[in-house]
Copies of this chain bind each other. A is one copy, B any other.
Amino acid sequence: MPVRPRPALKPRKTPRQARSTATVDAIFEAFVQVLRSHGPRRLTTTRVAERAGVSVGTMYQYFPNKQALLRAVIERYLGEVADAVEEACRGHMGRPVAVASDALVSAYVLAKTKDVETSRALYLAAAEVEVTELVNATFARLHEATVRLLSSTPDARFEPVEEVAFFVISAVTGATRVAVETKSDRDALDQFRLGMAAMCRAFLRDAAIVRAGPAD
């Protein structure tokens, strides 16, 4: 499995930045809206372009084909999520397990939950085969960050840390998916976040090999 993010799918051209950024944003936004309102099978290039307020031709100037558009949308979205998690991990290296775990879970859930509707829509799009590698690569990023984080905790050691990290990430990403597809209101989602954090904390406490304290 490829581990690192694919740089791929640049827009075909890079015209005046301002305009093109706006256009690309509009297309991304339209993509999500159409996905939401019509479902993945009725997500057509024409509909996206129309919704974005540009012609198909224009859209094809930015994305060489539908697949590329799909990948670009997913890539940006997953990239943001992974960025948020990585930053949280970097910011909590060396902290106690419970703190680090909470930070990790919170970062992920918040990122996914910031705009539930979008997250929900993109889960559907992520089922397409041409995007599997992107999903896997993102999972790998999350996994790696978690491994690093868990390796840095002063109060516990995990063995094998890769496996423990896999459980944490699987459970968090998987459960969050269910939550996003199930709940819409802020409160419920916040509550989910706290609950999920508790679950991971519990699991990690259990899985930990307690590190000998310096004293005694």
Taking beta carbons and an 8 Å cutoff, which residues of A are in contact with B? Answer: 1, 39-41, 123-124, 126-129, 136, 139, 163, 167, 169-171, 173-179, 182, 191, 195-196, 198-199, 201-203, 205-207
Which of chain B's residues have a CB closer than 8 A to the CB of A176? Answer: 174
In the complex, are the beta carbons of A175 and B182 less than 8 A apart? no
With A124-B127, A177-B174, A178-B174 in contact, do A167 and B139 touch (Cβ < 8 Å)? no
Q: Which residue of B lies closest to A140 (CB)?
A: B182
Q: Are B174 and A40 in contact (CB under 8 A)?
A: no
| A41 to chain B: closest residue by CB | B128
Question: CA of A127 to CA of B191 in the docked complex: distance in angstroms?
Answer: 26
Known: A39-B128, A124-B129, A171-B175. 11 other contacts (CB 8 A): A41-B128, A124-B127, A126-B127, A167-B199, A170-B174, A171-B174, A173-B174, A174-B176, A175-B175, A199-B203, A202-B203
Docked pose: A67 CA to B163 CA in angstroms? 39
Least Cβ–Cβ distance between A45 and chain B, in angstroms: 14
Chain B residues lying within 8 Å of A124, measured Cβ to Cβ, are 127, 129
Pairs of residues from A and B, 5 with the lowest C-beta to C-beta distance, nearest first: A174-B174, A127-B127, A170-B175, A39-B129, A202-B206
Q: Are B128 and A40 in contact (CB under 8 A)?
A: yes
Tell me which residues across on chain B come within 8 A of A205, comparing CB atoms: 202, 206
Q: Tell me the complex Cα distance, A143–B139, Å.
A: 27
Contact of A207 among B1, B39, B169, B198 (CB under 8 A): B198
